[in-house]
Structure 1
Amino acid sequence: MDVALLVKALLIGVFSYLGGIHTPWLAGISGGYYTVGRPLVAGLICGIIMGDVTQGVLLGVAVQAAFIANVSTGGSTNSEIIYAAYGGIGLGLVSGASTGVTVTLSVLCGSLGLILYNLIMVVNSVWNSRATAAAAKGDEKGMFRNHVIGAQITNFVIRAIPVSIAIYSGKGFVNFVVNNVPDWILHAMDVLGGMLPAIGVALLMNLLIKEKSFLIYFFAGLIFYTFISNSMIALAVIAGLIAVIVYKASGSNATVEAASSDIDDDEVI
Structure 2
Amino acid sequence: MTTLSAAFLCAIAYFICFGGNWLIGQNMADQPIVVGPFVGLLLGDLQTGLILGASLQALFIGAINVGGAVSLNPSFGTTLAVAFSILSGGGEQFALALAVPLGLLGGLLEIGVNILCAAFGPLWDKAAAEGNDKKIVGLHFGVWLLKYLLFSAVIFIAIFAGATPVTNFVNNLPDFITEGLGVVAGLLPAVGFAMLLKMVWSGKLALFYLLGFLAVAYLELPLIAVATLGLIVAFAQAMIDKDMLDIKNQANNSSIGDNDQTDEEEDFLS
> TM-score, with normalisation over the residues of structure 2?
0.76
C-alpha contact 1:10 1:161 (8 A) present in aligned 2: no
Aligned to 1:193: 185
Aligned to 1:176: 168
Aligned to 1:63: 56
Query: For residues 72-221 of structure 1, what are the structure 2 equivalents within 5 Å?
Result: 72-73=65-66, 75-149=68-142, 151-211=143-203, 212-221=206-215
Identity %: 24
Deviations 1:139-158 (A, max 9, x none): 45543443322x13321332
In the TM superposition, residue 114 of structure 1 has moved relative to its aligned partner by 1.4
C-alpha contact 2:216 2:222 (8 A) present in aligned 1: no
The reply to whether residue 28 of structure 1 matches residue 25 of structure 2 is yes
- What amino acid sits opposite 2:195 in the alignment? L
Distance 1:231 1:196, change over 3 A: closer
Size of the alignment, in residue pairs? 240
- What amino acid sits opposite 2:161 in the alignment? S
Q: Which SS does the other structure have where 2:68 is aligned? A: coil
| Aligned equivalent of 1:48, options 34, 38, 41 | 41
Aligned to 1:262: none
Distance 1:95 1:135, change over 3 A: same
Between stretches 95-104 and 57-66, larger displacement belongs to 95-104
Aligned counterparts of 2:6 and 2:80: Cα–Cα separation in 1: 12
In the TM superposition, residue 175 of structure 1 has moved relative to its aligned partner by 1.3
Larger Rg: 2
C-alpha contact 1:87 1:109 (8 A) present in aligned 2: yes
| Unaligned ranges ≥5, structure 1 | 253-269
Aligned counterparts of 1:209 and 1:24: Cα–Cα separation in 2: 29
> TM-score, with normalisation over the residues of structure 1?
0.76
In the TM superposition, residue 221 of structure 1 has moved relative to its aligned partner by 1.8
Deviations 1:19-60 (A, max 9, x none): 3368644x3322xxx1x2110111110111111111110011
Deviations 1:112-161 (A, max 9, x none): 11121012211111122223223333445543443322x13321332101
What value does the CA root-mean-square deviation take over the aligned residues? 3.0
| Unaligned ranges ≥5, structure 2 | 245-270
Deviations 1:159-180 (A, max 9, x none): 1011122222221121121123
In the TM superposition, residue 190 of structure 1 has moved relative to its aligned partner by 2.9
Distance 1:12 1:240, change over 3 A: closer
Aligned counterparts of 1:199 and 1:115: Cα–Cα separation in 2: 21
